[in-house]
Amino acid sequence: MSPTPASAKIALTETVLFGGLSAELIQQHVRGIQRDLLTHSRYLHEVDFRAIHPRDLEFLFGCYDERFFGGHCRGALEARRLNFRLSPRMTRTGGKTTCFASPNGDLSYEISIASSILFDGFGKMDRRVNVCGLECDTRLEALQRIFEHEMVHLMELLCWENSDCAARRFQGIAARFFLHRAHTHDLVTRRERAANSGIRVGARVTFTFEGREFTGRVNRITKRATVLVEDPEGKQYSDGLRYKAYYVPITLLKSVAADAASG
């Protein structure tokens, strides 16, 4: 007999509140999932993968749900949709889980993972990173830690309709199932990468645009940097001068001060 939806939700609630796995079994499952993903994915072929598809996230969900939660997460979702998204625009958080309500009250869920942060990190020169309090040596390990964190958000939303990773309930679940020791990450963000190269808000920078070299000041850093360059035809700013704004990938900027310092 298949469980009714209400009992699926109760089963998930009981599992996440009272269940947990030994550290050994957790590590075994995590490595097994890693192997399964590398074997089955059309996009991920190595631990420092170069490409990823939302289907890989869907695959991860199935693996984690089966191995850690006995499929109760899928059961508690019932017929509600769960979407997976890769977000190149999230530049500070590693992931995000959202519950959407349609006008007629139907709920759906979405897990997004910050592909920008994953792909920015794990270059040869990068420092080691820490996600959820665990050291990650590879891009795939970081992806798994972020995904585990978002799984806990999803399960809390399914069971209690709210979720807070700064709260004890969340941290208990994340620790008992995934050995997480923190709810934060210190992945290398573009902001940090930019700051390390001397590119920070207020820094004087040079860059080449359509064959011409410009010098200006960094006004804002997101996915790219906004550089204000003095220009009589530009917009007037609060300092009374006129500037044109250029949106420049951070890697194409050279810090004027850093240059001078390094000779």
The residue ranges that bind Zn ion (CB under 5 A) are: 165
The residues that bridge with 212 in the sheet, in sequence order, are: 209
Least distance from Zn ion to the Cβ atom of residue 43, Å: 25
Least distance from Zn ion to the Cβ atom of residue 200, Å: 27
Least distance from Zn ion to the Cβ atom of residue 149, Å: 6
Please say which residue, 157 or 258, places its beta carbon nearer to Zn ion.
157
Q: Are strands 129-131 and 134-136 parallel, antiparallel or unpaired?
A: antiparallel
Please say which residue, 141 or 221, places its beta carbon nearer to Zn ion.
141
- Per DSSP, helices labelled H in 80-182 are 115-120, 139-160, 168-178
* Residue least distant from Zn ion (Cβ): 165
* Three-state SS at 123: coil
Give Cα 1 to chain centroid, integer Å: 39
Least distance from Zn ion to the Cβ atom of residue 62, Å: 21
Please say which residue, 65 or 148, places its beta carbon nearer to Zn ion.
148
Please say which residue, 140 or 165, places its beta carbon nearer to Zn ion.
165
Identify the burial level of 213 via C-beta atoms within 10 angstroms of its C-beta, where 0-12 means exposed, 13-18 middle and 19 or more buried.
exposed
Please say which residue, 164 or 259, places its beta carbon nearer to Zn ion.
164
Least distance from Zn ion to the Cβ atom of residue 3, Å: 29
The residues that bridge with 243 in the sheet, in sequence order, are: 230
Identify the burial level of 132 via C-beta atoms within 10 angstroms of its C-beta, where 0-12 means exposed, 13-18 middle and 19 or more buried.
buried
